[in-house]
Amino acid sequence: MGYTITEKILLKHAALKSVHPGEFIHAKVDLCLGNDITAPLAIEEFEKLGAKKVFDRKKVALVPDHFAPAKDMKSANQCRCLADFAGRQGIKHYFEVGRMGVEHALLPEIGLVLPGDLIIGADSHTCTYGALGAFSSGVGSTDLAAAMATGEVWLKVPESMKFVFQGRLNKWVGGKDLILHTIGDIGVDGARYRAMEFCGEVIEKLPIDDRLSMCNMAIEAGGKSGIIAPDKITRAYLRAIKKPAKPGAGKYYASDKDAVYCDVREYDCRKIGPVVACPNLPSNTKPAKALKNIFIDQVVIGSCTNGRISDLRIAAKLLKGRKVKSSVRLIVIPATQKIYLDAVNEGLAKIFIDAGGVFSTPTCGPCLGGHMGILAAGEKAIATTNRNFVGRMGDPTSQVYLSNPAVAAASAIKGHIAHPEEVA
């Protein structure tokens, strides 16, 4: 019996002769990650353990991004905790404001996550890095503390589900639509503690940015991880960012033909158009064309799901020469400093501002109801973020719709949820 790509990576890191779904293992980590919300708790637990030094100062990353730049005194102290710990421990990968970005966009961009790696992070969307062929998963702050001290994580080997995407993509459809369609099909617990493996002819042609969006939202289906086998597109991406630089870095695994999956789903992408997740679950999906007269107060384009330069280019293409509806707030947040600068140099920032939008420094901000776009009572927003739970972006009576950047930009122009064809 063969192994899935997930099982192969875990087998390598557990130094066992075999692994099986449901088995508990200790595995060595290549990188452990914390942010300004979760890392302070981990640091507290790390010190309670009596640990003196992190296991490897080059394999811990601390990114203040959720409430950063600090929105108030409490968040400032949270960020200060990370800075002080990084200084005491000599942690190489600490990213201060001005050098940071939204963590799950930043780490792939600078080559900190590579194919074949095992990565844990005290943030549920750590599953993003599966887009590069890594096993990556969110953990609790106490798990992060233990990993920082020992370099290992204790976990259960997940079953794997295979999702096969055939056909071709329609216009205005990207990775965000594919994952929303998938979550709409299986539900928010349809992949509970399973590895979601995405493959098929459409995935083989899908750019890395779209792959990152898909793996990012595996957790919204309950997934332990999302993963795509690395290929020539992965190699081209790593060459472009000049990684892997160290000898032996980056291991290209693929699932065996006789690997066992607990479920296999196949989708004809020719039948998938732009998808919108309606309140209050990512699984409450409908075609964008099916939504009529849903007027909105705010549009957010950004986050670890869709804040990359390709996302901003798509939004700018629709917004160029047009105006945001006067009753709508448009907030555009590039996910990293590099993306911010690229958007400025390409003239995208000017397009957003000329259209009547706001162009912000990188931050998670409004995605988690933190800052830079909190919703008032009864307000509606459409966002390229990943969650739309009750109160996710502000007041409990507010509502959040999730979409790709094209639908979000079109909606900003029309003042209601709109298919891109309405303005293109």
Q: Are 5-243+259-267 and 276-422 equal in CATH topology?
A: yes
Residue 243 vs residue 303, higher pLDDT: 303
**Domain parsing of the chain, residue ranges:** 5-243+259-267, 276-422
Helix axes 39-48, 141-150, angle to 10 degrees: 50
Q: Residue 358: its pLDDT value, please?
A: 98
Cis peptide preceding 244, ω within 30 of 0 = yes
Q: What are the tens digits of pLDDT across the range 213-268?
A: 999 999 999 999 999 999 999 999 999 987 765 545 679 999 999 999 999 999 99
Query: What's the average model confidence in pLDDT over 47-68?
Result: 96
Q: Which two tokens stand for residue 356?
A: 């009547």
Residue-wise pLDDT for 321-351, tens only, equals: 999 999 999 999 999 999 999 999 999 999 9
Q: Are strands 225-227 and 135-138 parallel, antiparallel or unpaired?
A: unpaired
- Name every residue whose Cβ is closer than 8 Å to that of residue 239 and which is 6 or more positions away in sequence: none
Mean pLDDT of the chain: 96
Predicted TM-score (pTM) of this structure: 0.96
Terminus-to-terminus CA distance in the chain, angstroms?
Answer: 51
Contact 195, 160 (CB under 8 A): yes
The class (CATH top level) of 5-243+259-267 is alpha beta
pLDDT for the residue 242: 78
- CATH code for the domain defined by 276-422: 3.30.499.10
Mean pLDDT of 186-210: 98
Here the tokens at position 8 are: 């192969």
Residues belonging to the chain: 424
Instruction: Name the 3-class secondary structure at 271.
Output: helix
Half-sphere exposure of 181 (CA within 13 A, CB side): 25
The pLDDT value recorded for residue 247 is 46
Neighbours of 212 (CB within 10 A): 28
Q: Check whether 276 has a pLDDT greater than 70.
A: yes
Pairwise CA distance, residues 41 & 33, whole Å: 13
Residue range 404-417, pLDDT digits in tens: 999 999 999 999 99
Percent of the chain predicted with pLDDT > 70: 98
CA–CA gap between residue 356 and residue 227 (Å, rounded) = 38
